């Protein structure tokens, strides 16, 4: 049941491609909780996805922005601030790897693709924050958030170069979080989410096995996209004002579990 937790808050949500996207669930919940926002995605995703359906449901304006293009980000922020004034929240929910898409093994990666992966999936977070910073677009006590995965800390062989992308992304959150905190009382965090059945998620090799394994290890099971949206909203709300520069695990307990009974049962001989 909606509590109007974000009443009056204004923001930008990146990365809603279709109804499975985590950003889609965040947008739906933000709307239910009283926030207003601009939805944005890369021009090609706007053509291929179903974002207009979401925009209609949530009363949001859609603005195209390829996060590798500085001019696109500046244009987006200008549109958002002309409409709302300074922003309360921004969600970066973006990931893409051409090496993963082409199924290139980690030991035989194409470096042009790797550049692109880091550019889209990680440098874009710095580029976004720098554009917000230079335009002084964040309201005091605002919240900037990106989504990440535990492959930044531990090895998941099929996650490939996205592991390094996420490590870089999380580091940008800490480093820019320092500057945003010190100068503007704005917080910057990453949420490390469970495997989730989305377009980006299921692009990773062996995703089904990956998903089931995490589900069996985690005492609470995998966190759904809907639950992730709830956690995102808590970080946009005024209840988490002093949380910054953190990588926050939202994974049903996966990150701190060594082994579970469910997995033990698979190997027990008696
Ligand atoms: N699905 C999972 O298992 C999982 C787990 C942990 C973290 N995450 C992270 O959650 C975030 C959202 O992914 P998702 O699972 O909702 O999948 P998704 O495929 O729905 O979202 C990824 C989004 O990135 C956008 N994007 C790609 N290139 C872009 C560009 N150049 N400019 C602007 N946008 C671009 C896509 O259009 C898409 O909307 C990603 O950062 C992902 O790594 C996902």
The string of pLDDT tens digits covering residues 124-154 is 999 999 999 999 999 999 999 999 999 999 9
Backbone angles phi, psi at 78, to 5 degrees: -60, -45
- Helices 124-134, 70-84: crossing angle, 10 deg rounding: 50
Sign of CA dihedral 157, 162, 163, 164: positive
Is the pLDDT reported for residue 231 higher than 90? yes
Domains of the chain: 10-267 (3.40.50.720)
| Assessment of whether the complete model's pTM goes beyond 0.75 | yes
**Vertex 224, ends 221 and 230: CA angle to 5°?**
120
pLDDT, residue 1, reads 67
Full strand arrangement of the beta sheet holding 187-193:
61-64, 36-41, 10-14, 87-92, 138-148, 187-193, 247-250
Backbone angles phi, psi at 33, to 5 degrees: -95, 10
Pocket-testing residue among 198, 213, 228, ligand 1, by greatest number of atoms within 8 A of Cβ = 198
Whole-number Å distance between alpha carbons of 264 and 137: 51
Report how far ligand 1's centroid is from the alpha carbon of 256 (Å).
25
Whole-number Å distance between alpha carbons of 125 and 122: 6
pLDDT, residue 2, reads 79
Q: Which residue has the tokens 């170069």?
A: 161
195 Cβ below 6 A of ligand 1: yes
158 Cβ below 6 A of ligand 1: no
């Amino acid at each position: 049941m909606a509590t109007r937790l974000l009443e009056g808050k204004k923001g930008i949500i990146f990365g809603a491609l279709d109804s499975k996207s985590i950003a889609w669930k965040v947008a739906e919940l933000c709307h239910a909780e009283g926030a207003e926002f601009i939805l944005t995605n890369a021009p090609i995703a706007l053509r291929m996805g179903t974002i207009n359906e979401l925009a209609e449901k949530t009363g949001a304006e859609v603005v195209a922005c390829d996060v590798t293009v500085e001019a696109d980000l500046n244009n987006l922020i200008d549109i958002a601030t002309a409409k709302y004034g300074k922003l309360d929240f921004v969600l970066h929910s973006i990931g893409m790897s051409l090496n993963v898409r082409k199924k290139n093994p980690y030991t035989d990666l194409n470096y042009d693709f790797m550049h692109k992966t880091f550019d889209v999936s990680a440098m874009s977070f710095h580029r976004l924050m720098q554009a917000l910073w230079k335009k002084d677009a964040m309201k005091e006590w605002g919240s900037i958030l990106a989504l990440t995965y535990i492959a930044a800390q531990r090895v998941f062989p099929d996650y490939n170069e996205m592991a390094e992308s996420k490590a870089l992304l999380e580091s940008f959150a800490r480093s820019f979080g320092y500057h945003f905190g010190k100068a503007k009382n704005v917080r910057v965090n990453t949420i490390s989410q469970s495997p989730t059945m989305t377009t980006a998620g299921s692009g990773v090799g062996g995703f089904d096995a990956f998903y089931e394994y995490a589900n069996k290890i985690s005492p609470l099971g995998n966190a759904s996209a809907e639950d992730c949206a709830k956690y995102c909203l808590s970080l946009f709300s005024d209840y988490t004002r002093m949380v910054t520069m953190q990588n926050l695990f939202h994974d049903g307990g996966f990150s701190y579990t060594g082994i579970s009974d469910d997995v033990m049962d698979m190997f027990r001989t008696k």
